[in-house]
Amino acid sequence: MIPSLCYFDLTARLLSCSKFRTLEEILTIEIKPGWKRGTKITFPEKGNEEPGVIPADVIFVIEEKPHATYKRDGNDLVVNQEITLLEALTARLLSCSKFRTLEEILTIEIKPGWKRGTKITFPEKGNEEPGVIPADVIFVIEEKPHATYKRDGNDLVVNQEITLLEALTGRTLDLTTLDGRSLMIPLTEIVKPGAEIVVPNEGMPISKEAGRKGNLRIKLDVKYPSRLTTEQKSELRRVLASVS
């Protein structure tokens, strides 16, 4: 018989589990700090008694309930921390959460250019218990989706729709950057299907190369008219007949 417990605790406590052998006996587990999934606690010969049969052992196997904020990685606590693209573009301080004592707040200094998966470790900042080394607290950076821009490595990518007329005759794109600047991009050449404009040094900061940034890549999507009149088709043939 292997009953399972769903329990994950950083602190010691007593857990009254269930009744076995007799209606009067309750087996009690003393949960030890740091117990992990798969830890087994055996109560020898505490199974139901039958005449002429040695009672079975009762074995509890520890399972860990998922936590809304933390994940466990060995003895460490891991927290996924979302930041926006703007926060990754510019430095700022982020007060994250309370650990160990009610007075202590861990603060992350977000560095320009940090990417999804960047880890920030606070050694031994987990809950304290007598005789137990506190776990490390590890924050793992996640990126919040942006309504306009997507990140591709150190580059920023934006989709921009233009009309067929604009693709043929030109237009000036007016983009608002992540940090609120207005960026004017003139289209002076004919835009072909799948065209992409690259604006150097307007992407994300490169964290290990101070002062350098990736590129801004503008993917152009040409919107074709849904229909043309007979007169419009004739006029297009006339205008484009001599174009190679």
Domains 4-63 and 70-143 alike in fold:
yes
pLDDT of res. 1: 38
User: Could you give the CA distance from residue 115 to residue 140 in angstroms, rounded to a whole number?
Assistant: 10
Residues 6+ apart with CB under 8 A from 16: 26, 27, 28
Closest CA to 32 of 67, 57, 7: 7
User: Could you give the CA distance from residue 194 to residue 218 in angstroms, rounded to a whole number?
Assistant: 10
Distance of CA 53 to the CA centre of its chain: 55
| pLDDT over 90, % of the chain | 31
**Residue 55 DSSP SS3:** coil
Q: At residue 13, does pLDDT exceed 70?
A: no
Task: Assign 3-class secondary structure to 29-44.
Answer: EEECCCCCCCCEEEEC
CATH superfamily, with its number, for domain 4-63: Urease metallochaperone UreE, N-terminal domain (2.60.260.20)
Q: At residue 11, does pLDDT exceed 70?
A: no
Average pLDDT along the chain: 80
Residue 222: band (very low, low, confident or very high) from pLDDT cuts 50, 70, 90: very high
Residues 6+ apart with CB under 8 A from 95: 105, 106, 107
User: Could you give the CA distance from residue 8 to residue 10 in angstroms, rounded to a whole number?
Assistant: 7
pLDDT of res. 172: 95
Residues 6+ apart with CB under 8 A from 47: 1, 20, 21, 55, 56, 57, 58
Q: Where are the domains of the chain?
A: 4-63, 70-143, 149-226
DSSP conformational letter for 224: -
Predicted confidence (pLDDT) per residue in 125-152, tens digit: 776 666 677 778 888 888 989 999 999 9
Q: At residue 117, does pLDDT exceed 50?
A: yes
Predicted confidence (pLDDT) per residue in 168-185, tens digit: 999 999 999 998 999 999
Predicted confidence (pLDDT) per residue in 50-108, tens digit: 777 887 788 888 887 887 777 777 777 787 888 888 888 886 666 665 444 445 677 88
pLDDT of res. 27: 76
Q: Which fold has domain 70-143?
A: HSP40/DNAj peptide-binding domain (2.60.260)
**Residue 126 DSSP SS3:** coil
pLDDT of res. 215: 96
Other beta carbons within 10 angstroms of residue 135's beta carbon come to 25
User: Domain 149-226 is in which class?
Assistant: mainly beta
Say if residues 85 and 151 touch (Cβ distance below 8 Å): yes
Residue 244: band (very low, low, confident or very high) from pLDDT cuts 50, 70, 90: low
